[in-house]
Amino acid sequence: MRRFSPTRNNPATVFSAALLLCLIAPSLLQPVSAANSMANIDILGYSTIHSIGLELRMDGDDNHNASCKLRYRPLGAQKWKTGLDLFRVDYTPPDPKSGQADHFNGFAGSIFFLAPGQTYELSLEISDPDGGGTTRSLQISTRPQPKKPMGGRIFHVQPGNGGGDGSPAAPFLGIAEAQAHARPGDTFLLNNGIYSGFDSGSEVQLNVSGARGNYIVWQALNNGEAILDSPLRIAASHLWVEGLHIRGHANVGNEYGLRTYNAPDDVVIMENLFTDFYYSIALNHGGSNWLISDNTIIGDKDINTPDGPASWGGEGIELQFTSGHTVAWNRISLVADGISSAQRNTDIFRNEIFDVTDDGIEPDYGYANIRVWENRISNARHNGFSFQPMNRGPWYFIRNQVAAPMESTLKIRSTSRVLLAHNVFVGWNNALGNASPNEVPGILTFHSSNNIWVSVNNGYAWQHNSGGHAPSWRTSLDYDGFDWGSFTYAAKWGGVRYPTIKDFSLATGLQINAVHIDRNICFEQFDIPQPPPTSMPFQHFSLKAGCNAIDAGIVLANINEDHGGMAPDLGPYEQGEPLPRYGPRGQLFSDGFEAP
């Protein structure tokens, strides 16, 4: 399948965050029924460098039978492309933690895999059998690729406490001295050595802003040889930090590697090494539109505890309920959670996350248009993805590989609208574990298609407490593949056990087109020797010729139209296509793990 796959030398590979556009559409036609027809649609649009997101608030449609079809094209192009229909959302967040616990009624959704710095024309066809349909057009631009300044001043820096003129022969002595001379467009090359903190006690604080399109760059002269022996505080916007080793101190506890002041906007954190921090990157005092790319994060390595590696805590990248980010190509290990807490309009892709003690990626408390694609999560002790809770949706999970958490591949608590497409979910005891009994209907709010669900230890492929809830307008579960090994039952649903997926389908009306697969026949490699916390080899669960998961999927607009064969394959990897690479592309740092 020909799909977007950024490479290091392509200008589409560097990512940023959001352009916000708010269009207030005029009131629609007089509704036929005040409760069931639509009226008063407000449209909010925004973008990252590769995606566009939409939120349409409206009144009415209490029976949830309205739809919103989407087409898009580059401005000036003749041919329209079809996007996924926007999700119908009618949801009140269960927890007001992020301060936006308002009820949302309307549509929301995304367009994926777009070119950077391109203006797109969108056409929305909103229809309702009960009245109030309309068509709306709008234009939204993706954000251009961040670029380092051209023609600006270049200075040298070395460890010290003041002095120097920034020349190669007489570098500024220390970051504080260098920053006293900084202005937009400057590049500061940090020579080899150990830089200690200044200001605020033991921190290195960057508090002089660049300008939009004209960053201040702080870059190691030799990648990894400029060492910050203190936490880094980003307290200004339009900064670029690259190639540094930001080094913590094992066993300190609750130590931050990088955190924020003043909600800095448009910051690039690229190709750095973080070691021995409890929280490596945390936007604890806000931030928007960050690019966090190609970093290596190795958490707090204190294993001298009764529970050994199960005790690693903290976060690799904690977005702290902020929006507009792109988090891509990072390698994260030895933390509790890999990437956490985007609020909305955030892209998370091609990250290598492994040996974590809680969850791989947890967008907990997030709102609309969180997009998670082509990540590999290996040996997560508890869960691959977390929904604890969702504050709205939709969230998108596309072409990810998750293996093999003890609890469940998905932590399902309070859920809204979700797309699961072309993932492989491998759980140790079951692929989909039991939802919290007090917070259902869980996966009944999802659209799940073209995924593969595998239980390593011969347990249920799906085990779900439906709490008596039946499928509804929010439910679309079909065209997945299941492997429950030698276990007696394929699924346990609402307390009832089903020996096969066909039995489950006949009883529930779900997964009518599902297939039963066999991991021993289907995968080119499948090596999971022990449950977490034992590490597992890096691998791709790609499909062998002859596997019945090939050509067993359904076409999804904007995701798999260019599939090979008669139909899309199940799982992340279309047969015959190059396998993706995860984690940093430059391999700047030796962290003891070779990239696959």
Domain that holds residue 495: 368-583
More confident residue, 495 or 28: 495
Whether 54 is in a domain gets the answer yes
Token pair, residue 492, equals 């346990």
Phi-psi region of 584 (alpha: psi -120 to 50; beta: other; left: phi over 0): beta
Q: Which pLDDT belongs to residue 87?
A: 98
Q: Which pLDDT belongs to residue 436?
A: 67
Q: What value does the mean pLDDT take over residues 229-256?
A: 88
* pLDDT of 323 higher than 60: yes
Buried b (16+ CB within 10 A) or exposed e, 139-177: ebbbbebbeebeebeebbbbbbeeebebeeeebbbbbbb
Q: What value does the mean pLDDT take over residues 116-123?
A: 97
Whether 101 is in a domain gets the answer yes
Instruction: Find, among 293, 299, 396, the residue nearest to 338 by Cα.
Output: 299
**What are the Cα distances from residue 567, in Å, to 27, 100, 193, 551, 553?**
41, 41, 56, 4, 6
Range name among 120-134, 268-282, 576-590 with the lowest pLDDT average: 576-590
* pLDDT of 19 higher than 50: no
Q: Which pLDDT belongs to residue 345?
A: 98
Q: Which pLDDT belongs to residue 16?
A: 34
Cβ atoms of 408 and 456 closer than 8 Å: no
Cβ atoms of 417 and 448 closer than 8 Å: no
Q: What value does the mean pLDDT take over residues 549-554?
A: 98
Contacts of 203 (CB under 8 A, 6+ apart): 197, 230, 231, 232, 233
Contacts of 590 (CB under 8 A, 6+ apart): none
Contacts of 307 (CB under 8 A, 6+ apart): none
Is residue 84 helix, strand or coil?
A: coil
Q: What are the residue ranges of helices labelled H in 307-434? A: none
Q: Which of 141, 162, 185 is the last residue of a domain?
A: 141
Q: Which pLDDT belongs to residue 34?
A: 53
Whether 575 is in a domain gets the answer yes
Q: What value does the mean pLDDT take over residues 385-389?
A: 93
Q: Which of 118, 141, 164 is the last residue of a domain?
A: 141
Q: Which pLDDT belongs to residue 12?
A: 34
Instruction: Find, among 270, 264, 267, the residue nearest to 244 by Cα.
Output: 270
Instruction: Compute, in degrees rounded to 10, the torsion defined by CA atoms 144, 147, 150, 153.
Output: 130
Q: Taking the CB of residue 79, how many other CB atoms lie within 10 A of it?
A: 7
* pLDDT of 174 higher than 80: yes
For residue 26, say if its preceding peptide bond is cis, omega within 30 degrees of 0: no
Phi-psi region of 393 (alpha: psi -120 to 50; beta: other; left: phi over 0): left
* pLDDT of 25 higher than 70: no
- Output the domain CATH number for residue 137: 2.60.40.10
**What are the Cα distances from residue 162, in Å, to 86, 157, 196?**
57, 10, 13
- Torsions phi, psi for 417 (to 5 deg): -85, 135
Q: What value does the mean pLDDT take over residues 355-380?
A: 96
* Total residues found in the chain within this entry: 596
197 pLDDT tier (thresholds 50, 70, 90): confident
Cβ atoms of 365 and 95 closer than 8 Å: yes
More confident residue, 365 or 202: 365
Cβ atoms of 538 and 377 closer than 8 Å: no
Whether 5 is in a domain gets the answer no
* pLDDT of 356 higher than 50: yes
Q: Which pLDDT belongs to residue 249?
A: 76
Q: Which pLDDT belongs to residue 438?
A: 62
Alpha-carbon distance 537 to 25, whole Å?
53
Q: Which pLDDT belongs to residue 301?
A: 60
Single-letter amino acid code for the residue at 159: P
493 pLDDT tier (thresholds 50, 70, 90): very high
Contacts of 263 (CB under 8 A, 6+ apart): 285, 286, 287, 288, 322
SS (H, E, C) 461-505: CEEECCCCCCCCCCCEECCCEEECCCCCCCEEECCEEECCHHHHH
* pLDDT of 557 higher than 80: yes
Domain count along the chain: 2
Range name among 17-21, 176-180, 341-345, 420-424 with the lowest pLDDT average: 17-21
Alpha-carbon distance 221 to 219, whole Å?
6
Instruction: Find, among 323, 324, 400, 316, the residue nearest to 358 by Cα.
Output: 316
Q: Which of 86, 121, 141 is the last residue of a domain?
A: 141
More confident residue, 467 or 500: 500
Cβ atoms of 77 and 88 closer than 8 Å: no
Instruction: Find, among 322, 446, 309, the residue nearest to 385 by Cα.
Output: 446
Share of the chain above pLDDT 90, in %: 77
Q: Which pLDDT belongs to residue 99?
A: 61
Identify the residue whose tokens are 């009140």: 92
Q: Which pLDDT belongs to residue 437?
A: 64
Identify the residue whose tokens are 């955190």: 259
**What are the Cα distances from residue 290, in Å, to 210, 346, 384?**
14, 10, 24
Beta bridge partners of residue 349, listed in sequence order: 328, 373
* pLDDT of 229 higher than 80: yes
More confident residue, 342 or 13: 342
Cβ atoms of 175 and 207 closer than 8 Å: no
Token pair, residue 503, equals 């039995």
Whether 455 is in a domain gets the answer yes
Is residue 108 helix, strand or coil?
A: strand
Q: What value does the mean pLDDT take over residues 113-129?
A: 97
Residue 335's Cβ-count burial label (10 Å; 0-12, 13-18, 19+) is buried
Q: Which pLDDT belongs to residue 250?
A: 64
Whether 265 is in a domain gets the answer no
Q: What is the CA radius of gyration of the chain?
A: 24
* pLDDT of 466 higher than 80: no
Share of the chain above pLDDT 70, in %: 87
Contacts of 313 (CB under 8 A, 6+ apart): 278, 299, 300, 335, 336, 357
Give the tens place of pLDDT for each residue, 53-110.
999 999 999 999 999 999 999 999 999 999 999 999 999 988 666 565 689 999 999 9
Range name among 5-14, 244-253, 268-277, 485-494 with the lowest pLDDT average: 5-14
593 pLDDT tier (thresholds 50, 70, 90): very low
Rounded to the nearest integer, the mean pLDDT of the chain is 89
Whether 191 is in a domain gets the answer no
Is residue 388 helix, strand or coil?
A: coil
Whether 34 is in a domain gets the answer yes
Give the tens place of pLDDT for each residue, 505-522.
999 999 999 999 999 999
